[in-house]
Structure 1
């Protein structure tokens, strides 16, 4: 299967969607608090995008009913927004994809609700650093395996595991494009990275076992052992000068 390389014009289109995603995450960082529900957050995100000329690409994708995925504590990804109030100490990952004029950008971010613990702060810190380590390896001439290896080394060195069931991916006109971006494995393997590729790097890091199961709704993925997880995701473009993050906000 061939990789679709993006032109500068294409990347500008993805960047427009990325800026909306980034500004929405920044707004969420001020809204998420004990007592807020993820259903309220979902409505906020949908209205935020629509007001800025974007559409939430996840809504309706393969029948998914919401504008966001909202994954709390032991839910690793694809959690349904619900009416259960968030409690102090919870962690929640909000994953969103904006579409602007047919171009898409994707970013997930894990937030601590209210008061945190040292263990929770470390989990999030390592998960974010693992993503950043992976992004640094997204250089022309490197390989998909170099990204995944950097993520895995960071996570396991700190005593965590990478959830292997879910991967990053190419993105552009379609939400999920070739190639997949595994967040584990040996370096120097897989698809060779080229200028013009646009990918997501989105490792899910867990404090316990990496095994997960899918709930009866067909979407929600939880850790088998109940351990908590964190996920950070950016959409990046690979250029001759290295990776450019198209969803940066923090």
Structure 2
């Protein structure tokens, strides 16, 4: 069942989504080689507490941390740990806060130091595909229109692996509501999008095969061939003529470009679709 939000509910969700963006911006300002993802997790816990919110991920389905920290071949749900990050790592941080009864949660992938051109392209194309999917989140379209836009730009155009076992989802008072929002599919299929439906759109794109497996911890999802994966996610509200993006990557990017340890060279080639 699709849960259509009232305008005042959307406003709370937008506030929470931007709190997450702001926190991810703080991560962007300090991320560097030698840092550990466990330090990031502690930082996120402290920020959520300062905001008088609840860490959405902690204890969700038994998940034991405040954020998901997925490095290189980890697609999503990576456990924070004490392994030091290094030059060449791709680090995806997925974070959520619950406040005033509603969830804000999304993800961003960072590049530490120098990487190959093929990695820069993977990051750029995955981020572009997120916005191409978002552009289809308008009243009267269908979920499959979002899915097709992402798949067309990543798998069909560049040959990347589009993860199928994990998908985007509705968002509201809980982290997962209807509908599921796959990153692959056919145009004109799936549930019809209605105004004030709130969803998380999150392409998870692999450099190699789309096949994945789960670590023994029961959470960490890795690429089957050990090649890198990239994950971006926005919280979005469906509107009549254009989507409303509830989260705000500008709060992350302005900190990211100022951090000399992070590689943002792909920004110059990034192509933003018309929303």
Q: TM-score, normalised by structure 2?
A: 0.89
Distance, in Å, in 2 between the alignment partners of 1:30 and 1:114 is: 14
Tell me the equivalent position of 1:243.
243
Aligned-pair CA distance for 1:139: 0.8
Aligned-pair CA distance for 1:78: 0.3
Distance, in Å, in 2 between the alignment partners of 1:56 and 1:16 is: 15
What stretches of structure 1 move > 4 A for 4+ residues in a row? none
Tell me the equivalent position of 2:234.
234
Aligned-pair CA distance for 1:150: 0.1
Distance, in Å, in 1 between the alignment partners of 2:123 and 2:52 is: 32
Distance, in Å, in 2 between the alignment partners of 1:26 and 1:54 is: 17
Tell me the equivalent position of 1:127.
126
Residue 77 (structure 1) aligned with residue 76 (structure 2): yes
Residue 209 (structure 1) aligned with residue 204 (structure 2): no
Aligned-pair CA distance for 1:162: 0.8
Helix, strand or coil at the partner of 2:94: strand
Aligned-pair CA distance for 1:28: 1.2
Distance, in Å, in 2 between the alignment partners of 1:123 and 1:240 is: 31
Unaligned ranges ≥5, structure 1: none
Aligned-pair CA distance for 1:13: 1.1
Aligned-pair CA distance for 1:238: 0.8
Alignment of 1:30-179 (within 5 A): 30-156=29-155, 157-179=157-179
Distance, in Å, in 2 between the alignment partners of 1:54 and 1:12 is: 16
Helix, strand or coil at the partner of 1:142: coil
Helix, strand or coil at the partner of 1:247: coil
CA offset digits 1:117-169 (Å, max 9, x no partner) = 21211110011001110000101010000000000000020221211110000
Distance, in Å, in 2 between the alignment partners of 1:31 and 1:102 is: 30
Say what the alpha-carbon RMSD is for the aligned residues: 0.9
Tell me the equivalent position of 2:224.
224
Distance, in Å, in 1 between the alignment partners of 2:99 and 2:20 is: 11
Unaligned ranges ≥5, structure 2: 251-275
Q: How many residue pairs end up in the alignment?
A: 249
Distance, in Å, in 2 between the alignment partners of 1:42 and 1:129 is: 27
Tell me the equivalent position of 1:7.
6
Aligned-pair CA distance for 1:184: 0.3
Distance, in Å, in 2 between the alignment partners of 1:54 and 1:238 is: 25
CA offset digits 1:50-97 (Å, max 9, x no partner) = 111222100010110100000000000000000000010000110011
Tell me the equivalent position of 2:183.
183
